[in-house]
Chains A and B, each alone.
Chain A
Amino acid sequence: DQQVKQNSPSLSVQEGRISILNCDYTNSMFDYFLWYKKYPAEGPTFLISISSIKDKNEDGRFTVFLNKSAKHLSLHIVPSQPGDSAVYFCAASEVNTDKLIFGTGTRLQVFP
């Protein structure tokens, strides 16, 4: 049972435009959500996180939105840059646990 789902395996965006990566979850006990970026042959790099008490968190070009009623979160990257091309994973953890549940990832390609 996949508790964290990234239904788009890939996304292609032109440089300068907005990239929107989506993530859905099924477990209502999740209260902390993270986005990681992964290049080939490297480990995931932490990008941004959000607690369930918030609905938005922004850090530079990256903004994460959380819609608890819809059990949906999204990562917005604006403006997109070629260096953003990577696989993006969303992850979630339940209250009172450190365990992260990962989605299957979305491969973002930003072209000139």
Chain B
Amino acid sequence: GAVVSQHPSRVICKSGTSVKIECRSLDFQATTMFWYRQFPKKSLMLMATSNEGSKATYEQGVEKDKFLINHASLTLSTLTVTSAHPEDSSFYICSAKYGGRTYSSGRNQPQHFGDGTRLSIL
């Protein structure tokens, strides 16, 4: 159980294009999904928290207009990197957390991760 699917696994595209990455929880409902970015030899850095049916909460320093997040259903969140540039090249990974709609009911549930997307902007 607790399978998270992320697609695509790898993207290579030209500078200036927009890239959409999908994150799906396959066997559970995820009221909350998370988007991370990982630089080489660094830890995972949280970019934003996505709650179903509401606007995402972005971490400090993350551009909302560049990294558009949509969480339209309990099983799907998308990250769109708009007008991508070479410095956006990175490993992007999503996670989903099973939990009830109240904070306390889902508090100590772990996040389950997708396999990530390697984004390369030429």
Residues of A within 8 A of B (CB): 4, 32, 34, 36, 41-46, 49, 51, 89, 96, 98-105
A-B interface contact total, Cβ < 8 Å? 55
Question: A42 to chain B: which residues have CB within 8 Å?
Answer: 115-116
Chain B residues within 8 Å of chain A by Cβ, number? 27
The 10 closest A-B pairs by CB, nearest first: A43-B113, A102-B43, A46-B110, A102-B44, A43-B115, A104-B43, A44-B113, A42-B115, A43-B114, A43-B116
Residues of B within 8 A of A (CB): 2, 4, 6, 9, 32, 34, 41-46, 49, 93, 95, 97, 103, 106-108, 110-116
B49 touches A43 (CB 8 A): no
A39 to B84 alpha-carbon distance, docked (Å) = 28
Choose among B41, B45, B49, B113 the residue that contacts A98 (Cβ–Cβ < 8 A).
B49
B6 touches A43 (CB 8 A): yes
